[in-house]
Copies of this chain bind each other. A is one copy, B any other.
């Protein structure tokens, strides 16, 4: 299995990315390979300075960089030798089994939609995040940022995509699905959410439990899969991250709050596309990069993109 890593993406690239790759390598199985995509000279210099053996990686040299401030679609089409464009090319041609980057999220989504393409039958891809439960488990929440406006059929499908993720990546046999809402009653919520409640309830493809509310998150009342539009999901995710920061600010050391630290989570998989792609936080440090790579490994080992294809395409 080969994981492609964009060495040039992220606020602390390339150093922190290479450091994270070195840390991740020791945790990968011996037949898992890391493909470092980026500036050849800088990669080799950094590996050398770390005393790491370049032969343990594959290195794919590129000459261009899509900056965080670049216009995603324009940069993706114009910088054909950028690490992101090259990574998606390798992914599409099967040279790597998964691709991870902490670079320009917009460019990653352009690559996801226009190079590897959306799976036929998927209305809109989604970004998936994990929400820690006090009981030690994790739940899957989607979408957390791609689609701020979601039609009911899109929300229903997120229930299906999230269930596939929970089953194959987290190993939950029959994941319960909840609809994030502002009350427990069926009649609550926005027009789109109310309509999606009915679709979820009637669908034989999801194990729907009903609405869950903001105070159900993190607790035993939380479902395995939490369906919401990318607006509210993004606010939930960023607010949870803030509580990690608040705990640190207040001098609180607690293993639950530590699980809200994005560094521990690593990245956000894109689901609904033909290949396995994970997008990292722009501010990813060494530890976050390492965890992004391990998460990509889990997604690739679960064969997630193909499992979703089977669930949606039949």
Residue of B nearest to A255 (CB): B250
The residues of B that contact A252 with a CB separation of less than 8 Å are 252, 254
The residues of B that contact A148 with a CB separation of less than 8 Å are 182, 188-191, 193
The residues of B that contact A191 with a CB separation of less than 8 Å are 148-149
Chain A interface size, under 10 / 10 to 19 / 20 to 34 / 35 or more: 35 or more
Asked if A245 and B193 sit within 8 Å, CB to CB, the answer is no
Asked if A256 and B250 sit within 8 Å, CB to CB, the answer is yes
Within the assembled complex, what's the spacing in Å between the Cα atoms of A230 and B229?
A: 14
**Inter-chain pairs besides A214-B234, A219-B245, A250-B257, 9 sampled, C-beta below 8 Å:** A134-B249, A149-B191, A193-B231, A214-B235, A215-B245, A217-B239, A217-B242, A218-B246, A250-B254
- Indicate which residue in B145, B190, B250 contacts A182 across the interface (CB closer than 8 Å): B145
A191-218 vs B, CB cutoff 8 Å, 1 = contact: the mask equals: 1010000000000000000000111111
Interface check A67, CB cutoff 8 A:
no
Asked if B231 and A189 sit within 8 Å, CB to CB, the answer is yes
User: What distance in Å separates the Cβ of A176 from its nearest Cβ neighbour in chain B?
Assistant: 19
Within the assembled complex, what's the spacing in Å between the Cα atoms of A246 and B243?
A: 11
Provide 25 A-B residue pairs closer than 8 Å at the C-beta atoms, listed in order of the A residue.
Answer: A134-B246, A145-B182, A148-B191, A149-B190, A149-B191, A182-B230, A190-B229, A193-B231, A213-B235, A214-B234, A214-B236, A214-B237, A214-B241, A214-B242, A215-B239, A215-B241, A217-B239, A218-B242, A219-B245, A232-B232, A232-B235, A239-B239, A243-B243, A250-B254, A250-B257
The residues of B that contact A231 with a CB separation of less than 8 Å are 182, 189-190, 193, 232
User: What distance in Å separates the Cβ of A242 from its nearest Cβ neighbour in chain B?
Assistant: 4
A249-272 vs B, CB cutoff 8 Å, 1 = contact: the mask equals: 110101011000000000000000
Interface check A180, CB cutoff 8 A:
yes
- Contacting B at CB under 8 A, from A159-207, are 180, 182, 188-191, 193
Asked if B238 and A215 sit within 8 Å, CB to CB, the answer is yes
Within the assembled complex, what's the spacing in Å between the Cα atoms of A249 and B218?
A: 12
Given known contacts A215-B242, A215-B245, A245-B215, is B250 in contact with A180 (CB within 8 Å)?
no
Interface centre among A182, A213, A218, by most chain B C-beta atoms within 10 angstroms, is A182
- Contacting B at CB under 8 A, from A123-155, are 134, 145, 148-149
User: What distance in Å separates the Cβ of A229 from its nearest Cβ neighbour in chain B?
Assistant: 8
The residues of B that contact A256 with a CB separation of less than 8 Å are 246, 250
User: What distance in Å separates the Cβ of A32 from its nearest Cβ neighbour in chain B?
Assistant: 33
Within the assembled complex, what's the spacing in Å between the Cα atoms of A241 and B219?
A: 12
Within the assembled complex, what's the spacing in Å between the Cα atoms of A239 and B246?
A: 14
Asked if A238 and B213 sit within 8 Å, CB to CB, the answer is yes
User: What distance in Å separates the Cβ of A39 from its nearest Cβ neighbour in chain B?
Assistant: 28
Within the assembled complex, what's the spacing in Å between the Cα atoms of A190 and B231?
A: 7
The residues of B that contact A257 with a CB separation of less than 8 Å are 250
Asked if A182 and B235 sit within 8 Å, CB to CB, the answer is yes
The residues of B that contact A250 with a CB separation of less than 8 Å are 254, 256-257
Within the assembled complex, what's the spacing in Å between the Cα atoms of A230 and B246?
A: 25
